[in-house]
């Protein structure tokens, strides 16, 4: 029996969270619910949809949750950092009926992806630590809080991850896209990886595309390297 579950994101089809789950259930074992921008009337499932999603959880489908992209958990702007913490906490509380196995968070260098390396790494880690501490204080287990490996070397944040015993969401699609030493990164972070996110990058540079864009030898090597650890 394999020790991991195969999943997909909640927007494979251009439809709602529930419509996607209805079509994906039976084809995958886990659905990563994407709450990238949960503002506005249509930003979250309504009560009926949430109850229906919970029914699929009761039937054996597991959920992971991607928290809002706007949350800047290590922002130099304290007001913005605190707002980011509140936004993530709102999603954690909203999703309690679904009993997710993992919550994915972004900890940007700046206030979004692509930010410059912090001039004061210690201060950056201290801000990130305060945010993570606040999230854990709400009751989410450290074993479910996953820091995503973004577009920078996660070693900068490693002291925080280890101090709180957090998990990692390892996006190997981005590692391949960016030409990173994915074998070395897997060796360092696979032992605490909760989620592996895998997608291809089209020749034009657009990511989150079909795995057909991943060379066969690379795909086989990645499958072998990751087969022993990920559990969702």
Per residue in 27-68, pLDDT (tens digit) is: 999 999 999 988 866 789 999 999 999 999 999 999 999 999
Rounded Cα gap, residues 170 and 186, in angstroms: 8
State pTM to two decimals. Answer: 0.91
* CA separation, residue 105 to residues 85, 150, 160 (Å): 10, 10, 13
Rounded Cα gap, residues 85 and 132, in angstroms: 8
For residue 176, pLDDT beyond 50: yes
Rounded Cα gap, residues 71 and 81, in angstroms: 7
What percent of the chain shows pLDDT beyond 70?
A: 94
Q: What does the DSSP 8-state code read for residue 95? A: T
Angle of CA points 179, 183, 185, to nearest 5°: 80
**The pair of three-digit structure tokens given for residue 56, joined into one six-digit string:** 């699929």
**Termini Cα distance of the chain:** 14
């Amino acid at each position: 029996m394999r020790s991991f579950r195969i999943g997909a994101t909640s927007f494979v089809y251009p439809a709602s969270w529930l419509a996607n789950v209805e079509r994906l259930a039976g084809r995958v074992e886990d659905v990563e619910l994407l709450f990238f921008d949960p503002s506005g009337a249509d930003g979250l499932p309504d009560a009926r949809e949430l109850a229906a999603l919970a029914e699929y959880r009761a039937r054996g489908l597991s959920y992971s949750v991607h928290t809002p992209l706007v949350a800047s958990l290590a922002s130099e702007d304290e007001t913005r950092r605190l707002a980011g913490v509140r936004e993530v906490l709102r999603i954690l509380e909203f999703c309690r009926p679904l009993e997710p196995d993992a919550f994915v968070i972004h900890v940007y260098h700046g206030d979004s992806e692509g930010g410059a390396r912090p001039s004061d790494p210690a201060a950056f880690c201290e801000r990130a630590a305060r945010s993570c501490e606040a999230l854990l204080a709400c009751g989410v287990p450290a074993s479910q809080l996953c820091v995503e490996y973004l577009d920078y070397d996660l070693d900068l944040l490693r002291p925080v991850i280890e101090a709180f015993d957090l998990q990692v969401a390892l996006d190997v699609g981005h590692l391949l896209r960016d030409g990173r030493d994915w074998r070395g990164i897997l060796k360092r972070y696979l032992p605490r990886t909760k989620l592996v996110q895998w997608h291809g990058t089209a020749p034009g540079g657009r990511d989150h595309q079909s795995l057909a864009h991943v060379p066969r030898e690379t795909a086989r090597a990645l499958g072998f390297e990751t087969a022993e650890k990920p559990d969702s």
